[in-house]
Structure 1
Amino acid sequence: MTLIRSLRHCAALTLLGSALISGQSLAAEKTECIAPAKPGGGYDLTCRLAANGLLETGLLDRPMVVTYMPGGIGAVAYNHVVGVRSDDENLIVAASTGAAVNLALGKFGRFGPDQVRWVGALGVDYGAVVVSADAPWHNLDELLQDMKKNPGSIPFGAGGTVGSQDWMKAALVAKSADIAPRNLRYVAFEGGGEALAALLGGHIKVFTGDLSELQSQLEGGKIRVLAALSDERQEGPYADIPTAKEQGYDVTWPIWRGYYMGKDVSDEQYQAWVDRLTELDDNPEFAKMRADRGLFPMHKFGPEFDQYVKSQIQQFKDLATEVGLTK
């Protein structure tokens, strides 16, 4: 009788082990990335970067589902994860420097950065100061010297309202030349694509966008990038673009493309995602995929990324206070 019970117990454990393994495999297959915006923007790119990379390198068995959840420049998705799916181990959400700005400004409601788990970033982009190819300015200094005479006479434009990261790029550039950001004439657009179209149409004179969204326009010769907001010049099609720093204006704006998860996801499952993204980041095949999308390596995952995001949010809070957005 004891032997039979032992055999039954072993069989039950074997079945349980098989079920757990099967469940883990199924969990790996049913992954999802929420893009907190409409299709076609930076958050879509961020989700696709993970989805395509994980699938093509064999780190996922089947395609990751990409779900679009626009609203509040990321606030709807953030509140959804915090309130509804805080323990969903198969869900990651696209985030960026823009999300950090919104958290710093309190635009995600009562929730702060500690309400989620910051997983890592697969790439980084950099801000850029852009004018049309026939603009009278050939470098950043020429533009800023004209702005000093009458800041309101040169309309800036970008995706997002006053307080957004694209506005903050313009504010920092102005501030670097001792121009009060409040005196800028800023035109808000729904996204970078609309702002770029407005620049090409002559409706605005300066566009503060991102390097990655400019590659096709650079090749077509329709724009002139006065400055990249990076610490150093970038390679490839961006090699001829000077940084603001090398032109004497100490302005940088890195735009990371990363992910967060719900706060109640287990340490084990959180670490599994950290390991998965780290392995993807180390893959040479993925490196080419990232470069093809105009992004550059970042290499920040797990606790290091968590600390980086929270530190950045504090910096943005300080900046917002300095320029009068918050008290």
Structure 2
Amino acid sequence: MKNFGIAAFVAASVMASAAVAQVSELRIMAPAGPGGGWDQTARTIQSTLQSEGLVPNIQVENVAGAGGTIGLQQFVNRSTGDAAATIVGGYVMVGAIIANESNVTLSDITPLARLTGEYVVVVANADSPINTAEDLANALRNDIGGVTWAGGSAGGVDHIAAGKFAQVAGVAPEQINYIPYSGGGEALAAILGGQVSVGVSGFSEFSSQIEAGALKVIGITAPERQAYLDAPTFVEQGFDVDVQNWRMIAAAPGISDAERAALLDVIGTMAASDKWNAELETKGWVNTYLAGDDFAAYLAEQITATTAILADLGITE
């Protein structure tokens, strides 16, 4: 193997492993409404797996509500032992389970892999008087309840980002006027219609309206500027808000080790494909692929850390 490059060896190993996987059908639940990050993730998985010839028959289903916990409940109730059933989720779901005191948790499903990471952007209607992070901070200081935030579910990454900004701005994060929406389309309509002051979500959910000039970016929660977005970070504007959303795919509870291995092979091959990585670049997503037992350990750490963050921000007791 001394003459065989590491990258080539890894790629060959993944392809060889995927060659033995036999997954002829896949159903992907996106536990949110159309247009949001989970919906986009599910449909990007669908298009990539089909175009790469990895899984011929794939269906996507949307089940919205309560930060994904309604869909998660349905998924667990009806999919136990079903190797064709999968669900997408992520950091938002971790927080929503805690905030909503959900009866069903991520320990009730079979984690497969973390797929992507995405920084959060705060946007305003093009006509808004809020143009910068300092403008937003001053508005909060003057009338915290008068600044309305449209974002994803309570306790999710959008809520955490808003709470962290409020904290850094010197106001009580538990007092922000945060309005949760179950789908990106609903939140976008509220922002464009002037029903809320600002919106907070992943870049991919707002990208087309930002490019069209209908929305302006107040800041992005990245430690440094991102190539896909010509807008300042909160950090460079003097507000230390660094938050990255991550998204995953998981399988049903009660599947066999062989079925789990086959799914991991297919997802791993997808994550290494040119098609998948081209889609990620377009959407401003980062490939943060982490699979199997390593991802399960990471997930456990995230649950513990998020529980502490939500309590610190006053979002939960």
Q: Smaller-chain TM-score range? A: 0.7 to 0.9
Q: Which residue of 1 aligns with 2:107?
A: 114
Q: Which residue of 1 aligns with 2:304?
A: 314
SS of 1:34's partner is: strand
Distance, in Å, in 2 between the alignment partners of 1:190 and 1:113 is 19
Identical amino acids, percent of aligned pairs: 27
| Runs (4+) off by over 6 Å | none
Q: Deviations over 1:285-315 (max 9, x none)?
A: 2211233344222122222222222222212
Q: Deviations over 1:176-206 (max 9, x none)?
A: 2221013323334443322222222222221
Distance, in Å, in 2 between the alignment partners of 1:108 and 1:317 is 13
Stretches of structure 2 lacking an aligned partner (at least 5 in a row): 1-19
Q: Which residue of 2 aligns with 1:177?
A: 169
Distance, in Å, in 1 between the alignment partners of 2:185 and 2:25 is 32
Are the structure 2 counterparts of residues 326 and 40 from structure 1 closer, same or farther at C-alpha, using a change threshold of 3 Å?
closer
Distance, in Å, in 2 between the alignment partners of 1:88 and 1:158 is 33
SS of 1:93's partner is: strand
1:317 shift after superposition: 0.9
RMSD: 2.3
**What is the 5 A alignment of 1:292-307?**
292-307=282-297
Distance, in Å, in 1 between the alignment partners of 2:72 and 2:193 is 35
Q: Which residue of 1 aligns with 2:78?
A: 84
Are the structure 2 counterparts of residues 84 and 137 from structure 1 closer, same or farther at C-alpha, using a change threshold of 3 Å?
closer
Would the aligned equivalents of 1:35 and 1:43 in 2 still touch at CA under 8 Å?
yes
Q: Deviations over 1:263-288 (max 9, x none)?
A: 32222222222222121111112211
Distance, in Å, in 2 between the alignment partners of 1:48 and 1:281 is 14
Letter in 1 for 2:97: L
Distance, in Å, in 2 between the alignment partners of 1:67 and 1:152 is 36
Larger Rg: 1
- Is 1:132 the equivalent of 2:100? no
Alignment match of 1:281 (pick from 271, 274, 285): 271
SS of 2:57's partner is: coil
Would the aligned equivalents of 2:148 and 2:197 in 1 still touch at CA under 8 Å?
yes
Letter in 2 for 1:165: V
Are the structure 2 counterparts of residues 235 and 197 from structure 1 closer, same or farther at C-alpha, using a change threshold of 3 Å?
same
Distance, in Å, in 1 between the alignment partners of 2:193 and 2:63 is 30
Distance, in Å, in 1 between the alignment partners of 2:51 and 2:277 is 12
Give the TM-score of the pair, scaled to structure 1: 0.82
Alignment match of 1:63 (pick from 57, 67, 77): 57
Stretches of structure 1 lacking an aligned partner (at least 5 in a row): 1-23
Distance, in Å, in 2 between the alignment partners of 1:285 and 1:191 is 26
Distance, in Å, in 1 between the alignment partners of 2:69 and 2:237 is 37
Are the structure 2 counterparts of residues 310 and 279 from structure 1 closer, same or farther at C-alpha, using a change threshold of 3 Å?
same
Would the aligned equivalents of 2:37 and 2:205 in 1 still touch at CA under 8 Å?
no
1:106 shift after superposition: 4.8
Q: Which residue of 2 aligns with 1:224?
A: 216
Q: Which residue of 1 aligns with 2:13?
A: none
1:64 shift after superposition: 0.8
Distance, in Å, in 2 between the alignment partners of 1:146 and 1:69 is 36
- Is 1:201 the equivalent of 2:193? yes
Letter in 2 for 1:274: L
Distance, in Å, in 2 between the alignment partners of 1:302 and 1:146 is 45
Distance, in Å, in 1 between the alignment partners of 2:286 and 2:313 is 30
Count of residue correspondences: 298
Q: Which residue of 1 aligns with 2:178?
A: 186
Q: Which residue of 2 aligns with 1:18?
A: none
Distance, in Å, in 1 between the alignment partners of 2:273 and 2:128 is 41
Give the TM-score of the pair, scaled to structure 2: 0.85
Deviates more, 1:248-257 or 1:74-83: 74-83
Are the structure 2 counterparts of residues 272 and 167 from structure 1 closer, same or farther at C-alpha, using a change threshold of 3 Å?
same
Are the structure 2 counterparts of residues 83 and 170 from structure 1 closer, same or farther at C-alpha, using a change threshold of 3 Å?
same
Are the structure 2 counterparts of residues 306 and 268 from structure 1 closer, same or farther at C-alpha, using a change threshold of 3 Å?
same
Would the aligned equivalents of 1:227 and 1:243 in 2 still touch at CA under 8 Å?
yes
Q: Which residue of 1 aligns with 2:239?
A: 249
Letter in 2 for 1:47: A
Letter in 1 for 2:148: P
Q: Which residue of 2 aligns with 1:148?
A: 141
Distance, in Å, in 2 between the alignment partners of 1:209 and 1:143 is 16
Letter in 2 for 1:146: A
Would the aligned equivalents of 2:95 and 2:156 in 1 still touch at CA under 8 Å?
yes
- Is 1:29 the equivalent of 2:28? no
Alignment match of 2:158 (pick from 143, 166, 176): 166
Would the aligned equivalents of 1:78 and 1:108 in 2 still touch at CA under 8 Å?
no
Letter in 1 for 2:29: I
